[in-house]
Amino acid sequence: MGRLFGTDGVRGVANSELTPELAFKLGKAGAHVLSRDKKRPVVLIGKDTRLSGDMLEDALSAGILAVGGNVIKVGVLPTPAIAYLVRAYKADAGVVISASHNPFEYNGIKFFNSEGFKLDDDIEDEIEDIILRDIDVNSHITGEKLGRCLDADDDAADRYVEFLKSTIDVDIRGKRIVLDCANGAAYQVAEKVYSGLGAEVFLIGNSPNGININEGCGSTHPERLQREVVKRKAFIGLAFDGDADRLIAADEKGRIIDGDKLICICARMMKERGELTENLVTATVMSNLGFHRYIESMGSSVNVTGVGDRYVLESMLKSGCSIGGEQSGHIIFLNHTTTGDGILSSLQVMKAVVLSGKKPSELSDEIEIFPQVLRNARVKNENKNKFKDDGEIQKVIARVEKEMDGLGRVLIRPSGTEPLVRVMIEGQDVDHITGLAEELSALLTERLG
């Protein structure tokens, strides 16, 4: 059996791959590992708006209760809310039931430790080992040793809202803002935050029914947001994904501002305010060449990591960097919290725009983003890494890089989950780089497929 944990928890089609039985086992093993020294560990559970959330929440809770843990269910809240609240409640662990930006039929389970950080690989491996080896961790727990469900001692959502509001210290009263909540976990919280700060809020994607999360809305489908911003003559549009840990924006002209640009805008603000620790910004190998040039033009440096927010965070913790993220809009502000937070990120963007005295479009246009073309080469799974040692492939890569002549780049990356090698080429002429990407992907398929 393969690994249960991917780059962001355990995911799969609910009730098929991610079953109640697996959720029960994850509850038992997770509570056992994360709170081994506690006689009565407390685990906080939140979820997004998916239909399967109730089923998995109950199964997960039963597993935690079976090993003597107590459970606090805080209901539908963004993933980063759990990372914050696990510290606020002094809980031993937090769990989020969500599949983020994926369609509603998928779901996922991800853990946070008592400090609000996602789990290290070795902790996930320990949980997984207990499940795969079918180790019984609760046979000795009976009678009064069993856990119980506890009520939250106050309104968890309001507590999180107040925290978010505390992260912005500029006046946004009267600003016309369109919020796209992806019919997901932010559908109540985001409005409370922005209305509470005095903004004029227009909402879309705020009518979840269990099956419409991320459907034609949110950060992965921002087209409606773009139209709505223009229609409402709004100052800016802000779109979150299903669990609200990502942000994509639309400027007042309805043009998309992606994660790379949002990080640039916030990094410049932080540098001007003396908050850009180590004069460093963290990004993944997929960050745009234009991103690198902009950060370097500020006199700052970029620390590059592998794809995935967990690797961004690991690098930030090691380097002391205060801001990092991905093109997808997953942005981490370590001076405020421990994980990517779409609403918090949006507040920092608002702060940066207001302090600049410029329009969102003006700030966005200062950052030149190079066209990127991505093609997938289908190869045999066992051959995914062999392109590094194939002389013919390396010869073509070298030729393509020479053609770029410093005005682009080539990135070849094996997929972590599929029998694919991804070819990404960046450059100024989109037709030219498209041809190069298709040539390279065809060669990879021919040689390794």
Annotated binding site for Mg(2+): 100, 241, 243, 245
345 in catalytic set: no
Instruction: Give the Cα separation of 132 and 152 in Å (integer).
Output: 33
Catalytic residue among 35, 52, 61, 100: 100
CB 28 within 8 A of CB 86: no
446: left (phi over 0), alpha (psi -120 to 50) or beta: alpha
Residue 392's SS3 state is helix
What's the Cα-to-Cα distance from 57 to each of 7, 98, 231, rounded to whole Å?
A: 21, 10, 40
What's the Cα-to-Cα distance from 30 to each of 25, 88, 123, 139, 311, rounded to whole Å?
A: 8, 20, 9, 16, 22
Instruction: Give the Cα separation of 339 and 53 in Å (integer).
Output: 22
CB 47 within 8 A of CB 32: no
Instruction: Give the Cα separation of 417 and 215 in Å (integer).
Output: 24
What's the Cα-to-Cα distance from 274 to each of 124, 145, 186, rounded to whole Å?
A: 37, 51, 31
Q: What is the DSSP letter of 75?
A: E
CA 258, 53, 124, 103 dihedral sign is negative
Instruction: Give the Cα separation of 282 and 260 in Å (integer).
Output: 11
Residues annotated catalytic, as ranges = 100
